[in-house]
Amino acid sequence: MWKYFLRRIALSLLILLGVSALIYLLSMLMPADYIDNQTYAALQSGAMTKEDVQRLKELYGLADKSFKGIVKSYLSWLKSTMSGDLGFSFLYGKPVTKVLSEYIWISFLIAFISYILQIIIGIPMGIKASVNQYSAYDYIVSVFAMMGTALPSFFLSALLMNVFAIKLGILPLQGLTTATKLFPPDAHFQILLDKAWHLVLPISVLTLLGVGGTMKFTRTNMLEVLNSDYIRTARAKGLSEHEVTYKHAFRNTMIPLVTSLSGMLPGLFGGAMITETVFAIPGIGYMALRATQQGDIPFIMGYNMFLSILTVLGMLISDIMYMVVDPRVKLS
């Protein structure tokens, strides 16, 4: 088993290496003028010299765009990345790792709450729909689920903003804090409440978008399990439908469910670009989108690498969870 894991990890590292090369190449495609744009002001005010700019370009390997130059700069970037240094963000004027570690938490908080809500709402709904296949409930829930996956996040956000923030005026439109309200610095609870107040809409958006997928996944797997021989055996034992469903069938459905849900965990740190931007929540997604629009190459690279690592990590976790949950896998 350990051998298997070591192989998996080695493979993941290989994939990450490929991903980093690809992302690096993509960033190289971005015109280098962006550095000039970004440093223009600093250059004018004398905070930076021409040599600084050139050095920056060299530092990110943007000066030399020949193949050899790219390879060389990629290697040096890789080397510094290995040591945990993702470079320096132009836009935010801080090391990329610092920006990441500062802003992922609010993103994680939003994503995590909506993840929990998705589980709490989606799984019971999926089970109920599968037990009553083809009933009105099943249809309604299925349509609702697909609606969630079909809605663009920016449209749903706009709709909710229009209704709840503007028409009804019961929820704030944007931001994380109320700008017009001044809190005494020791009113931690009130500040927290104010922040929570601002997060209601973004969390609702993410939950509405994601709950359908969880529900549908549960339903599909549940249906498959409900048609199997051991469910017939369970019925033949005299177990009630409730026990058959929630004990025998659901325990089997748990396997794919836990596997996929646990694989989603690392991704929660990745931030929701569009939703955060629409609601102007200063999370990592919002920062990344701004950085992309402004051409902050070091940050873009760092962020994309970060996302890829999260993806790979998610795959590893779901592999491990699969072994934990499914008794059949342990031996092989």
Site for other proteins in 155-214 (CB under 8 A): 155, 158-159, 161-162, 166, 173-174
240-259 residues in contact with other proteins (CB under 8 A) are 240-241, 248, 251-252, 254-255
* CA dihedral of 183, 184, 189, 191, whole degrees rounded to 10: 30
Distance CA 306, CA 290 (A): 17
Output the DSSP codes for 130-151. Answer: HHTTTSHHHHHHHHHHHHHHHS
Closer of 30 and 191 to other proteins (Cβ): 30
Q: Draw the binding track, 60-99, toward other proteins (x: CB under 8 A; -: no contact).
A: ----------------------------------------
Bridging pattern class, strands 88-89 and 94-95: antiparallel
User: Segment contacting other proteins (CB under 8 A): 86-94, 118-126, 195-203, 272-280?
Assistant: 272-280
Binding span for other proteins by CB under 8 A among 69-77, 110-118, 176-184, 275-283 = 275-283
Q: Quick one: 34 or 112, whose CB is closer to other proteins? A: 34
Q: Which position among 78, 220, 258, 322 is part of the footprint of other proteins (CB under 8 A)?
A: 220
Closer residue to other proteins in complex, CB, 11/116: 11
Residue 95: left (phi > 0), alpha (psi -120 to 50), or beta?
Answer: beta
- HSE-CB at 160 with a 13 A cutoff on CA atoms is 26
Considering beta carbons, is residue 101 or 227 the nearer one to other proteins? 227
Using rule CB under 8 A, residue 109 touches other proteins: no
Instruction: Please state the φ and ψ torsions of residue 94, each to the nearest 5 degrees.
Output: -140, 165
Distance CA 42, CA 30 (A): 21
- Locate 304 and state its tokens: 């994309």
How many chain residues are in contact with other proteins, going by CB under 8 A?
A: 77
Cα distance between residue 227 and residue 235, in whole Å: 12
- The only residue of 63, 121, 289, 323 in contact with other proteins, by rule CB under 8 A: 289
CA angle 327, 331, 332 (to 5 degrees): 110
Pick the closer one to other proteins by CB: 203 or 307.
Answer: 307
Q: Is 135 in the site for other proteins (CB under 8 A)?
A: no
Using alpha carbons, list the distances in angstroms from residue 97 to 17, 33, 204, 240: 19, 24, 29, 55
152 binds other proteins (CB under 8 A): yes
- Judged by beta carbon, residue 200 or residue 280, the one nearer other proteins is 280
Please pick, from the candidates 1, 14, 47, 116, the single residue that binds other proteins as defined by CB under 8 A.
14
Q: How far apart are the C-alpha atoms of 193 and 61, rounded to whole Å?
A: 46
Site for other proteins in 290-309 (CB under 8 A): 292-293, 295, 300, 303-304, 307-308
Give the helix ranges, DSSP H, for 248-330. 250-264, 273-278, 284-294, 297-325
First-to-final CA distance of the chain: 8
Shortest spacing between CB 250 and other proteins, in angstroms: 10
Does 30 bind other proteins (CB under 8 A)? Our answer is yes
> Least separation, in Å, of the C-beta of 249 and other proteins?
9
